[in-house]
Amino acid sequence: MVKQVSAPIISNTEILPHTYLVWAQAPEITSIAQPGQFVMVRCGESYDPLLRRPFSIHRVANGGQMALLFNIVGRGTEWLSQCQEGDSLDLLGPLGRGFSFQSASHRLLLVAGGIGIAPLVFLAEKALGEGRSITLLIGAQNASLLYPESLLPPSIKLITATEDGSEGKKGMVTELMADFAAQADQVFACGPTSMYQSIAAQHYLKGKSVQISLEVRMGCGLGACYGCTIKTKRGLRQVCQDGPVFELNDIFW
Ligand code: FES
C-alpha cells in the first residue's frame, strides 16, 4: 500500500564529496518497505521541479527512521542536499518490486558500483537478520569516493576496488567477482549500465540468479505515465512497477 507522508528530517550529512545521507522519520513507509523498493520525493518547496525524484530506500531503523543516499546530480538533489533537521520531506512510497531471496540462498554476494550501494545496505541488513552471510564488493573511482566502512554492519565481509588503486584492488569492482561468485548462492548488484553489461558477460555466473536494480528516468513512479517502459526478454515492463529489480538475464544489453 503506497503512502504519501510528510517525513521530518532527523539529519542530512555529506558523507562523501557531493554524496549525502538523509535520515527522516517515516514509520508509515518503513513498516512495510522491502529492500530494493524506492520512494518518490518532492524535491522543492513548490511544484518546481514539477516531478518527484526516485530514491532507493537505503536503510530503515526500528524506530521508523528511513535513510536515503544520493549524489547531487541536478536541481532537485541540490535542493535536497540543503534540507536540514526540522524540515520535512514529502514522500510517496514504498514503490516498486524489490529484491527477493531464494529460500536456499545463504551466502549472498552483493556488488556495488559507486552510489549503487544505495539499495544494498538495506538488503544486507535484512539478509543478516535472517541468518544469511554477506560478501560485499564495492567499487569507486578513488578512495575518497568509497562508501565508509564504518556505516556498514560489522559482520559484512567487505572487499573494495578503486579505479586508481588508491584503496583495495586496482580496477573495476566487477574484476573482483570471479574470486567470490563460485561460493555465492545468489548475487545482487547495483551500479551503472556498463557494470551490468560486464557482469552479464561473465561465464562463471551462468545458471546463477543475479538480481539488479535499474535506474531510469521516472515521471510518476506509479505506473501511470509509461515513461519508464523498457523492453525485456519477457516483453515490455515498467521499471517503476515491475522493477526496479530485475533478473539480469531478462534484460537486453
Ligand atoms: Fe510513470 Fe513508471 S514512472 S509509469
Mind listing the pLDDT tens digit for each residue in 158-187?
A: 999 999 999 999 999 999 999 999 999 999
CA of 181 to the centre of ligand 1 (A): 33
70 vs 203, residue with greater confidence: 70
**Which residues sit opposite 23 in a β-bridge?**
11, 67
Radius of gyration of the chain (CA): 17
Q: Is 91 in the pocket of ligand 1 (CB under 6 A)?
A: no
156 band by pLDDT with thresholds 50, 70 and 90: very high
Tens-digit pLDDT profile for residues 39-50: 999 998 876 677
225 lines ligand 1 (CB under 6 A): yes
Instruction: Verify whether ligand 1 is closer than 6 Å to residue 229 (CB atom).
Output: no
Pocket test residue of 2, 52, 218 for ligand 1, highest count of atoms within 8 A of CB: 218
**First and final CA of the chain: distance in angstroms?**
33
Q: Across residues 94-103, what is the average pLDDT?
A: 96
pLDDT digits (tens, 9 = 90+) for 8-22: 999 999 999 999 999
Backbone angles phi, psi at 7, to 5 degrees: -105, 115
Q: Tell me, what's the pLDDT at 143?
A: 97
Burial class of 31 by CB neighbour count within 10 A (0 to 12, 13 to 18, 19+): exposed
Site to probe by mutation for ligand 1, drawn from 39, 216, 226, 236 as the one with most ligand atoms within 8 Å of Cβ, is: 226
CB of 228 within 6 A of ligand 1: the answer is yes
Residue partners of 188: CB distance under 8 A and separation at least 6: 99, 108, 109, 110, 111, 120, 123, 210, 211, 212
**For ligand 1, is residue 240 a contact (CB within 6 Å)?**
yes
Give dist(CA 116, CA 92) in Å, integer: 21
Q: How far is the CA of 49 from the centre of ligand 1 (A)?
A: 17
pLDDT tens profile 108-138: 999 999 999 999 999 999 999 999 999 999 9
40 lines ligand 1 (CB under 6 A): no
What is the per-residue pLDDT across 177-225, written as a single tens digit (0 to 9) for each? 999 999 999 999 999 999 999 999 998 998 899 999 999 999 999 999 9
The atom number, within ligand 1, closest to the CA of 241 reads 2
Query: 198: which 3 cell numbers?
Result: 560486464
Taking residues 86-105, what's their average pLDDT?
95
Q: Does the model's pTM come out above 0.85?
A: yes
Would you give the distance in Å from CA 138 to the centre of its chain? 13
What is the rounded CA–CA span in Å between residue 210 and residue 120? 13
Distance (Å) from CA 240 to ligand 1 centroid: 6
CA of 177 to the centre of ligand 1 (A): 33
